[in-house]
């Protein structure tokens, strides 16, 4: 499926061929005695769709915060085209990397459209007045996410699926080359989960570098071209889903009994849970 | 915000400006002392050498009080709106967070110092010792509350309000202790503003308040766009390029400056920072670019109206405006708490 013209209009113009967002030897400590990330090397380039997976507490969200430039890693660095993120101004960084955190709770009654328009923040000038170009991007983002229908409704009044589309539109309006999504499907039903993954796959095909955190290994394997598996703060596997999703690795990392099958239709690896570790197999 | 045209923006702000202007122009015409302002002014213009006493009442008693109300109301309402955005909590106000109590305590300390050390009573330009200490007290209170209520990067309503109430109680206890040991003269001085009132206002008070509140208000207006970004959380705001820490520092500084300087002159007038932002947000929406100027103008008009009511509704005596705003705001606050519980928000 070829990306439609709206998708292309939303993608920032490519500048330079060697774009990359990279974690180089990243380690992080919140407390002095415990490393929650250790020696992580991960490179994301335009067009990549990377599924960041691993058990709860394995460091996925912390790694994503570091990649978004929201925490400065204790060791190593996150670089954008070789330059440390920490040396960029917050706005410069936001124009290159967009981040949708996991738990976004609205306060006050901002409408869907206002929330999406707020995504233009890093592009606005000194007085923060949106121009015609900004309004056009916002309209495109709404069109692409099919959120125009509830533009005037309060974000707080929308359903989970609608709200997630509005938030996706707001980070798209940011027009960054790299898109970091922290569990964008965790509160969604099957239909909306597929919707979101189809959308981010299309964005990656159109030239965005996307990293998405998810607990659904099967969805990640179906849509991502790479999986990065974290375990106790270490990157234990990074490669195509068929390489990462191996029974011994997954059994050890998740501490459950499982087998890996093939999706009968598309052939992607598929986890079948059998029970607790040591249970029936 | 994208749909907000310049014309609509000016129209909405214009309506609030007209409201504030109407309050400033109409409020001096009423009062316990019956004066005919228009006639008196006309008489004075015709014969400048003999100024009628009615004009004196107008210029030296009513007008300063009205401008003090305008500035104090604008300041308190704007601080309420800014704190609500910053703490993502519709119940945050300078009063409920104990920031006003902190400011009062600072002012009490300054009154003490002024009595103990004769040279300390001096003022630097229009800025007085009481104002500086009130500012410091407000700042101390907001820093303590922020540190107490901040758990894992998120502020819960319960913690925030409990921290604020506790802070208010501690500062009140300290103020009581100060009152207990104060001399009668000092006590009278303190009590003058402890209730929160605008009477005895002089042009000097207006000047003192203006030099601190006007810059604070201007600074808050400059924070409007980043404050909008906080509505969906500090994390998302940070990802969009807002320097959240710097925003918080500025907002706390400006908020404490405005609260402290109002408290120093007018005392802790409660609930303006709660009532006005809520009412105005209902009318103009939550976007701070429009909300903040409207809240400032509306807050000024509201406090003038309350003060005018407070000084005219009783024939025997003038009621301090702080009593009236508290009587209006208290039930409103409880209503918001109940509504927040019912909808599971806040």
Task: Concatenate the DSSP letters of all residues of B64-85 into one string.
Answer: HHHHHHHHHHHHHHHHHHHHHH
Average pLDDT rounded to a whole number, residues A118-130: 84
Q: How far apart are CA B245 and CA B149, in angstroms?
A: 16
Residue B268 is inside which H or E element, if any? none
Q: Chain A: give the shortest CA distance to residue B338, in Å.
A: 17
Which has the closest alpha carbon to B194: B307, B270, B305? Answer: B270
| Structural contact between residues A26 and A35, judged by C-beta atoms closer than 8 angstroms | no
What's the pLDDT band for B75 if we cut at 50, 70, 90? Answer: very high
Which of A36-45, B96-105, B122-131, B332-341 is least confident? B122-131
The answer to whether A93 contacts chain B (CB < 8 Å) is yes
* Closest-approach residue (CA) in chain A for B244: A90
* Closest-approach residue (CA) in chain B for A71: B238
Which has the closest alpha carbon to B295: B81, B145, B140? Answer: B81
What's the pLDDT band for B344 if we cut at 50, 70, 90? Answer: very low
Residue B120: its pLDDT value, please?
A: 59
Q: How far apart are CA A113 and CA A151, in angstroms?
A: 5
pLDDT digits (tens, 9 = 90+) for A147-196: 999 999 999 889 989 999 999 999 999 999 999 999 999 889 999 999 99
**Residue B337: how many other CB atoms lie within 10 Å:** 14
Count CA atoms within 13 Å of residue B336 on its CB side.
Answer: 19
Q: Which of A91, A106, A130 comes nearest B241 by C-beta? A: A91
CB < 8 Å to B88, chain A:
107
Residue B124: its pLDDT value, please?
A: 61
Residue A2: its pLDDT value, please?
A: 47
Residue B180 scores a pLDDT above 60: yes
- Tally C-beta pairs within 8 A across A and B: 96
* Closest-approach residue (CA) in chain B for A64: B239
pLDDT digits (tens, 9 = 90+) for B79-127: 999 989 988 888 888 887 888 889 889 988 888 887 777 665 556 666 6
Asked whether the beta carbons of residue B2 and residue A113 sit closer than 8 angstroms, the reply is yes
Q: How far apart are CA B127 and CA B106, in angstroms?
A: 15
Residue B345 scores a pLDDT above 80: no
Residue B260: its pLDDT value, please?
A: 86
Which of A 46-85 lie inside 8 A of B, CB atoms? 68, 70
| Average pLDDT over all residues of chain A | 90
Residue A117: its pLDDT value, please?
A: 93
Residue B242 scores a pLDDT above 50: yes
Q: How far apart are CA B80 and CA A163, in angstroms?
A: 28
The answer to whether B7 contacts chain A (CB < 8 Å) is no
Residue A64: its pLDDT value, please?
A: 96
| Structural contact between residues B133 and B64, judged by C-beta atoms closer than 8 angstroms | no
The answer to whether A132 contacts chain B (CB < 8 Å) is no
pLDDT digits (tens, 9 = 90+) for A195-226: 999 999 999 999 899 999 999 999 999 999 99
Residue B121: its pLDDT value, please?
A: 58
What pTM did the predictor assign? 0.86
Strands (E), A214-255: 226-231, 234-239
What's the pLDDT band for A1 if we cut at 50, 70, 90? Answer: very low
Output the CA angle B285-B290-B292, nearest 5 degrees. 100
Distance of CA B1 to the CA centre of its chain: 27
Residue B2 scores a pLDDT above 50: no
Average pLDDT rounded to a whole number, residues B235-253: 89
Asked whether the beta carbons of residue A121 and residue B232 sit closer than 8 angstroms, the reply is no
Q: Output DSSP code: residue A14.
A: P
Average pLDDT rounded to a whole number, residues B231-250: 89
Burial-class residue A275 by CB neighbours within 10 Å (0-12, 13-18, 19+): exposed
Partnered with residue B206 across adjacent β-strands are none
pLDDT digits (tens, 9 = 90+) for B128-172: 788 888 888 988 988 887 777 665 555 566 677 788 888 888 998
| Structural contact between residues B205 and B72, judged by C-beta atoms closer than 8 angstroms | no
Dihedral (Cα; A46, A48, A53, A58), 10-degree rounding: -30
Q: Which of B235, B236, B286 comes nearest A109 by C-beta? A: B286
Interface confidence (ipTM) of the complex = 0.88
């Amino acid at each position: 499926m070829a990306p439609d013209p709206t998708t292309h209009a939303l993608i920032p113009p490519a500048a330079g061929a060697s774009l990359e967002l990279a974690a180089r030897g990243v380690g992080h400590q919140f407390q002095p005695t415990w490393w929650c990330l250790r020696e992580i090397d991960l490179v994301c380039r335009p067009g990549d769709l990377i599924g960041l997976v691993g058990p709860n507490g394995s460091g996925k969200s912390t790694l994503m915060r570091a990649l978004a430039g929201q925490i400065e890693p204790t060791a190593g660095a996150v670089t954008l085209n070789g330059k440390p993120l920490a040396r960029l101004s917050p706005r410069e960084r936001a124009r290159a990397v967009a981040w949708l955190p996991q738990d976004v709770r609205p306060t006050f009654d901002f409408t869907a459209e206002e929330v999406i328009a707020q995504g233009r923040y890093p592009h606005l000038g000194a007085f923060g007045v949106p121009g015609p170009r900004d309004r056009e991007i916002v309209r495109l983002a709404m069109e692409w996410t099919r959120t125009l229908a509830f533009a005037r409704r309060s974000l707080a009044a929308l359903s989970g699926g609608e709200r997630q589309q509005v938030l996706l539109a707001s980070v798209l309006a940011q027009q960054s080359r790299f898109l970091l999504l922290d569990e964008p499907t965790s509160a969604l039903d099957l239909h909306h989960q597929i919707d979101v993954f189809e959308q981010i796959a299309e964005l990656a095909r159109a030239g965005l570098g996307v990293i998405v955190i998810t607990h659904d290994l099967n969805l990640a394997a179906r849509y991502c071209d790479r999986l990065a598996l974290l375990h106790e703060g270490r990157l234990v596997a990074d490669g195509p889903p068929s390489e990462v999703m191996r029974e011994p690795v997954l059994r050890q990392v998740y501490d459950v009994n499982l087998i890996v099958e093939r999706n009968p239709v598309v052939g992607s690896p598929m986890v079948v849970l059998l029970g607790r570790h040591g249970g029936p197999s | 915000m994208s749909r907000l045209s310049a014309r609509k923006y000016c129209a909405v702000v214009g309506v609030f400006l007209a409201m504030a202007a109407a309050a400033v122009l109409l409020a001096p015409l009423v009062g316990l002392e019956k004066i005919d302002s228009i006639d008196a002014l006309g008489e004075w213009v015709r014969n400048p050498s003999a100024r009628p006493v009615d004009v004196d009442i107008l210029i030296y008693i009513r007008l300063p009080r009205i401008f003090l109300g305008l500035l104090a109301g604008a300041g308190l309402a704007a601080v309420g709106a800014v704190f609500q955005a910053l703490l993502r909590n519709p119940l945050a106000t300078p009063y409920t967070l104990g920031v006003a109590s902190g400011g009062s305590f600072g002012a009490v300390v300054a009154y003490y110092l002024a009595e103990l050390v004769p040279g300390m009573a001096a003022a630097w330009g229009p800025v007085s010792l009481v104002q500086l200490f009130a500012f410091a007290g407000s700042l101390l209170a907001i820093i303590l509350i922020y540190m107490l209520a901040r758990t894992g990067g998120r502020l819960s309503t319960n913690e925030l309000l409990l921290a604020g109430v506790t802070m208010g109680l501690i500062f009140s206890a300290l103020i009581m202790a100060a009152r207990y040991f104060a001399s009668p003269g000092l006590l009278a001085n303190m009590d003058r503003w402890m209730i929160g009132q605008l009477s005895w206002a002089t042009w000097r008070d207006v000047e003192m308040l203006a030099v601190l509140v006007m810059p604070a208000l201007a600074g808050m207006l400059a924070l409007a766009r980043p404050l909008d970004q906080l509505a969906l959380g500090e994390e998302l705001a940070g990802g969009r390029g807002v320097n959240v820490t710097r925003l918080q520092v500025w907002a706390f500084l400006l908020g404490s400056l405005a609260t402290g300087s109002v408290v120093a002159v007018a005392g802790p007038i409660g609930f303006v920072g709660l009532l006005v932002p809520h009412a105005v947000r209902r009318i103009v929406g939550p976007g701070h670019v429009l909300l903040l100027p409207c809240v400032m103008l509306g807050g000024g008009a509201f406090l003038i109206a309350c003060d005018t009511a407070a000084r005219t509704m009783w024939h025997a005596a003038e009621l301090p405006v702080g009593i009236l705003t508290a009587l209006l705001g208290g039930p409103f606050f409880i209503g918001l708490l109940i509504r927040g519980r019912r909808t599971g928000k806040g």
